[in-house]
Amino acid sequence: MEQIVSLCKRRGFIYPASEIYGGLNGFWDYGPLGVLLKNNIRDWWWREMVLCPPAGPDGHPIEMVGLDSAIIQNPKTWVASGHVGGFADPKVDCKACKSRFRADHLKVMELIFIDGEHALIYGEGEPNEVLAASAKYIAKLEKAHGQGYTLSGVQPFTHLNAEGRAKVVCPECGQVGTLTEPRQFNLMFESRAGAVEEESSKVYLRPETAQGIFLEFKNIIDTTRVKIPFGVAQVGKSFRNEVTPRNFIYRSREFEQMEMEWFCHPDEALKWYEFWKAKRMEWWRSLGVADSNLRLRDHVKEELSHYSKMTVDIEYKYPFTAPDFGELEGIAHRGSFDLTQHQEHSGQKLDYFDQELQLKLKEQGASPEDIKAKSRYVPNVIEPASGLTRAVLVLLCEAFTPDEARPSKMFLKFKPQFAPIKVGIFPLVNKDGMPEVAEKLYLDLRTQFTSEYDAKQSIGKRYARMDEIGTPFCVTIDGQTLQDQTVTVRDRDAMTQVRVGVEQVAGFLRERL
């Protein structure tokens, strides 16, 4: 992971935000290559979800439309959704080193002795995981206090009283009794709409893109030709004031989401839930992610969100979670929670009149009361929600390939479709007419593929740089080009080279990209 983070900075994929001022924890800037990679993933999701959505269980194409809703909505939105009342994490602070931790992550405590008194060190995870990780915490204590310790038990942090908390050791600085008691910490960023700072002008940066879709449900029904079942997809920025941003861009405070809300009849919700589980796994595989690094994990009852009837996570084996997996995308059966909540809080009808179902029930001889009751309903929602910025991390991890045989000692093995730069065009030397031929070819290729022209350094160093940024093909114009109008095309993965006519280069690349 350290190598990936270093490469991202050095080659212009991802930079710490506002780095010249010391940065800001949880915020990142996507550099020239990072924004290309991110946009390639975004465009593929949009194509596969909105422009060319999959066929449904009946074999016919499903209906999907797009939306780009405002980042700031009426604050009543977040009251109705439950975010104002429940979107908060308990936090603890260290008064000595100013570190901050999520109290609900301090699931297990390690009990040791300090001068005959009990002291507690926290650890994340199950008791056996904490015990396995205890050595580093004990070593930190011994360094800070110059004495030995004995592990004697575990207990949950949340069960500690004031006396117990007074004996907790900060795992960051090793000080005893410096962690505060848990306090609620709202994850939404607050702002003001309007020039006057007063309570009535308070608004929030959205913590998810989903709610904007629910707010526009009725408008979409009224202004387009969609009928239940149908989906609304959105890509956009979201903001969560995470207590402990960590693992590079895995958990940050500003991030992009790719979310879709699938509206369907309540009786068909389970069918569509299973449908989207399968389709979303297929999509991640289409990015070139190995099957062995993906899995589905159902949420147990205790971890379900307040709105969820059932949720499954698509998980990926990240370098910082291996051999375990971490969350990549959540697919939630939200029931009718959101539309019902917004209907109650806004006073606006957000149910759906199903004319086709009405006609079907009439044909079946249903009673007028039964027809009326069944043909108007609040749809259920299935929500596949993934992080675009997290997808960038997955593709970087998946593509990172060590190779001692190369000058770069590694290369990024992106699936060519998603590589930031598709082809590099190089004159072998920057003279003898080669730059003119190379530039002409570059001007032609760049209209079809994301291309880069580079005439500096030795050809070996240019190849090494292209390997590091994952460029699938490099085209070199050399002395032979001036004689027979052929060029050398180098394949990134195999490092093989073939001669291709200048006029055939575009077709050669098109077949392979």
- Say what the pLDDT of residue 178 is: 84
d(CA 79, CA 73): 11
Instruction: Confirm if 477 and 491 have CB atoms less than 8 A apart.
Output: no
* Alpha-carbon torsion (143, 148, 152, 158), positive or negative: negative
Token pair for 410: 């590694």
Q: How far apart are CA 221 and CA 228, in angstroms?
A: 9
> Is 431 in a helix, a strand, or coil?
coil
pLDDT of residue 141: 66
The answer to whether the peptide bond before residue 57 is cis (omega within 30 degrees of 0) is: no
Select from 512, 499, 340 the least CA-distant residue to 415. Answer: 512
Give me the pLDDT at residue 108, please.
43
Q: Which pLDDT value is given to residue 115?
A: 58
**Could you give the CA distance from residue 137 to residue 132 in angstroms, rounded to a whole number?**
11
Contact between residue 420 and residue 401 where contact means Cβ atoms under 8 Å apart: no
Specify whether the CB–CB gap between 475 and 424 falls below 8 A.
yes
For CA atoms 72, 73, 74, 79, the dihedral sign is negative
Q: Which of 260, 283, 286, 281 is nearest to 384 (CA)?
A: 260
pLDDT value at position 91?
Answer: 79
**In the chain, which residues have pLDDT < 70?**
86, 88, 104-138, 140-141, 145-160, 164, 171
Q: For the domain 2-71+206-336+379-397, what is the CATH superfamily, name and number?
A: Bira Bifunctional Protein; Domain 2 (3.30.930.10)
The tokens for 358 are 């009405």
The pLDDT of residue 90 is: 76
Question: 35: buried, middle or exposed (CB in 10 Å: 19+, 13-18, 0-12)?
Answer: middle
Tell the burial category of 368 from Cβ atoms under 10 Å away from its Cβ (0-12, 13-18, 19+).
exposed
Q: What is the dihedral of CA 512, 329, 388, 384, to 10 degrees?
A: 90
CA gap 513, 507 in Å, rounded = 10
- Which amino acid type is present at position 492? R
Sequential DSSP letters for 93-128: EBTTT--EEEGGG--EEEEEEETTEEEEEEESSSHH
Structure tokens at 459: 């050809």
249, two tokens: 């861009």
414: left (phi over 0), alpha (psi -120 to 50) or beta: beta
CA angle 447, 453, 455 (to 5 degrees): 160
* CA separation for the pair 137, 134 (Å, rounded): 5
Q: What is the spatial distance between Cα 329 and Cα 326, in angstroms, rounded to a whole number? A: 10
Block residue for tokens 């291309």 = 451
Domain residue spans of the chain: 2-71+206-336+379-397, 88-185, 421-512
Question: Can you count the helices (H) and strands (E) in the chain?
Answer: 18, 27
pTM beyond 0.95: no
CA angle 211, 215, 219 (to 5 degrees): 145
Amino acid at site 206: R
- Provide CATH code, domain 421-512: 3.40.50.800
Task: Write phi, then psi, for 37 (nearest 5 degrees).
Answer: -60, -45
DSSP H helices, 287-401, are: 337-346, 355-363, 368-375, 388-399
Report d(CA 157, CA 462) in Å as an integer: 54
- Hey, how many other C-beta atoms are within 10 angstroms of the C-beta on 264? 20
Check if the beta carbon of residue 106 is closer than 8 Å to that of residue 165: no
Query: Are β-strands 380-387 and 326-335 bridged in parallel, bridged antiparallel, or unpaired?
Result: antiparallel
> Crossing angle of helices 388-399/2-11, nearest 10°?
110
- 405-417: per-residue pLDDT in tens? 999 999 999 999 9
